[in-house]
């Protein structure tokens, strides 16, 4: 298999995954999609907290929350680093 074929197969796979996500989202109402945002957020934060407690060998949940808070703050700084290329602000 050539590199071009591998790339083409990868794009096909990515498209198939994306199409599945879009088709699922289309079956939901805005209210249901918002409910998914809540559920995903709670799940992700819980897993991140478990990860911090495991990685840093922390038993105290409040201490783990502070460490996680610090890590998330760093993520926010990275996110904010890519400033929007805003157009038309003064139009």
Query: How near is the Cβ of 22 to another protein at its closest, in Å?
Result: 5
Told to check if 48 binds another protein by CB under 8 A, we report yes
DSSP state of 28: S
Q: Which of 6, 8, 9, 42 binds another protein (CB under 8 A)?
A: 42
Question: Residue 6 or 46: which CB sits closer to another protein?
Answer: 46
**Residue 47 near residue 59 (C-beta atoms within 8 A):** no
Residue 46 CA to residue 40 CA, distance in Å, equals 10
Told to check if 13 binds another protein by CB under 8 A, we report no
- Tokens 């498209």 label which residue? 15
């Amino acid at each position: 298999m050539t590199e071009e074929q591998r790339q083409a197969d990868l794009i096909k796979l990515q498209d198939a995954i994306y199409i599945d996500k879009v088709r699922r989202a289309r079956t939901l109402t805005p209210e249901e999609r918002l409910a998914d945002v809540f559920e995903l957020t709670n799940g992700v934060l819980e897993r991140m907290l478990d990860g911090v407690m495991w990685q840093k060998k922390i038993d105290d949940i409040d201490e783990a929350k502070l460490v996680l808070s610090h890590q998330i703050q760093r993520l926010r700084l990275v996110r904010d680093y890519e400033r929007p290329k805003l157009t038309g602000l003064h139009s």
